[in-house]
Amino acid sequence: MSRICELTGKGRLVGNNVSHANNKTKRTFLPNLQNVTLISDALGRGIKLRVSMSGLRSVEHVGGLDNWLLKTSDDKLSLNARRLKREIAKKQAETAAA
Protein backbone atom coordinates (compact mmCIF):
# COMPACT_ATOMS: atom_id res chain seq x y z
CA MET A 1 0.00 0.00 0.00
CA SER A 2 1.54 3.30 -1.05
CA ARG A 3 1.99 6.07 1.48
CA ILE A 4 0.26 8.77 -0.55
CA CYS A 5 -2.87 10.73 0.36
CA GLU A 6 -5.70 9.89 -2.06
CA LEU A 7 -7.09 13.44 -2.01
CA THR A 8 -4.09 15.77 -1.88
CA GLY A 9 -1.33 13.61 -3.36
CA LYS A 10 0.88 14.30 -0.34
CA GLY A 11 3.63 11.68 -0.12
CA ARG A 12 6.84 10.99 1.72
CA LEU A 13 9.65 13.53 1.97
CA VAL A 14 13.36 12.78 2.27
CA GLY A 15 15.70 14.57 4.64
CA ASN A 16 18.55 14.08 7.05
CA ASN A 17 18.89 13.00 10.65
CA VAL A 18 21.48 15.34 12.13
CA SER A 19 23.33 14.16 15.24
CA HIS A 20 24.89 16.33 17.91
CA ALA A 21 28.24 15.76 16.17
CA ASN A 22 26.62 17.05 12.93
CA ASN A 23 26.68 13.61 11.27
CA LYS A 24 23.99 13.37 8.61
CA THR A 25 22.12 10.19 7.69
CA LYS A 26 19.18 9.88 5.31
CA ARG A 27 15.65 9.48 6.65
CA THR A 28 12.09 9.75 5.39
CA PHE A 29 9.24 11.87 6.68
CA LEU A 30 5.91 10.08 6.20
CA PRO A 31 2.55 11.87 6.04
CA ASN A 32 0.02 11.21 8.79
CA LEU A 33 -2.30 8.91 6.81
CA GLN A 34 -5.49 7.53 8.29
CA ASN A 35 -8.24 5.34 6.89
CA VAL A 36 -11.42 7.42 7.08
CA THR A 37 -15.00 7.16 5.83
CA LEU A 38 -16.20 10.42 4.30
CA ILE A 39 -19.88 11.02 3.55
CA SER A 40 -20.84 12.13 0.04
CA ASP A 41 -23.98 14.27 -0.01
CA ALA A 42 -24.60 13.72 -3.72
CA LEU A 43 -24.21 9.93 -3.57
CA GLY A 44 -25.79 9.55 -0.13
CA ARG A 45 -23.26 7.03 1.13
CA GLY A 46 -19.93 6.76 2.92
CA ILE A 47 -16.68 6.38 1.01
CA LYS A 48 -13.55 4.83 2.51
CA LEU A 49 -10.33 6.68 1.67
CA ARG A 50 -6.73 6.82 2.93
CA VAL A 51 -6.29 10.51 3.68
CA SER A 52 -3.66 12.66 5.39
CA MET A 53 -4.86 14.65 8.37
CA SER A 54 -3.98 17.93 6.64
CA GLY A 55 -6.04 16.77 3.66
CA LEU A 56 -8.96 15.95 5.95
CA ARG A 57 -8.82 19.45 7.46
CA SER A 58 -8.80 20.90 3.94
CA VAL A 59 -11.86 18.86 2.97
CA GLU A 60 -13.74 20.09 6.03
CA HIS A 61 -12.68 23.69 5.34
CA VAL A 62 -13.98 23.61 1.74
CA GLY A 63 -17.35 22.21 2.84
CA GLY A 64 -17.26 18.46 2.37
CA LEU A 65 -16.02 15.73 0.07
CA ASP A 66 -18.19 16.67 -2.91
CA ASN A 67 -16.96 20.28 -3.02
CA TRP A 68 -13.35 19.21 -2.54
CA LEU A 69 -13.40 16.70 -5.39
CA LEU A 70 -15.11 19.08 -7.81
CA LYS A 71 -12.64 21.91 -7.09
CA THR A 72 -9.44 19.81 -7.16
CA SER A 73 -7.55 19.05 -10.37
CA ASP A 74 -7.36 15.43 -11.50
CA ASP A 75 -3.56 15.23 -11.41
CA LYS A 76 -3.53 15.46 -7.58
CA LEU A 77 -6.23 12.82 -7.08
CA SER A 78 -5.80 9.06 -6.97
CA LEU A 79 -7.56 6.81 -9.47
CA ASN A 80 -10.24 5.95 -6.91
CA ALA A 81 -10.86 9.64 -6.14
CA ARG A 82 -11.08 10.50 -9.88
CA ARG A 83 -13.77 7.84 -10.29
CA LEU A 84 -15.67 9.32 -7.35
CA LYS A 85 -15.35 12.80 -8.86
CA ARG A 86 -16.90 11.63 -12.15
CA GLU A 87 -19.67 9.80 -10.31
CA ILE A 88 -20.50 12.86 -8.17
CA ALA A 89 -20.45 15.21 -11.18
CA LYS A 90 -22.77 12.87 -13.08
CA LYS A 91 -25.17 12.64 -10.12
CA GLN A 92 -25.23 16.42 -9.65
CA ALA A 93 -25.88 16.93 -13.37
CA GLU A 94 -28.83 14.51 -13.19
CA THR A 95 -30.36 16.30 -10.20
CA ALA A 96 -29.85 19.72 -11.83
CA ALA A 97 -31.57 18.58 -15.06
CA ALA A 98 -34.53 17.07 -13.18
Beta strands per DSSP E along the chain: 13-18, 24-29, 33-40, 45-52
Of 97, 90, 98, give the one whose Cα is nearest residue 42.
90
Considering the entire predicted model, what is its pTM? 0.83
What's the confidence (pLDDT) of residue 1? 64
64, 70, 76, 81 alpha-carbon torsion, rounded to 10°: 70
Alpha carbons within 13 angstroms on the beta-carbon side of residue 95 total 10
pLDDT in tens, 56-97: 999 999 999 999 999 999 998 999 999 999 999 999 999 888
Tens digits of per-residue pLDDT, 4-57?
999 999 999 999 999 999 999 999 999 999 999 999 999 999 999 999 999 999
- Could you give the CA distance from residue 39 to residue 48 in angstroms, rounded to a whole number? 9
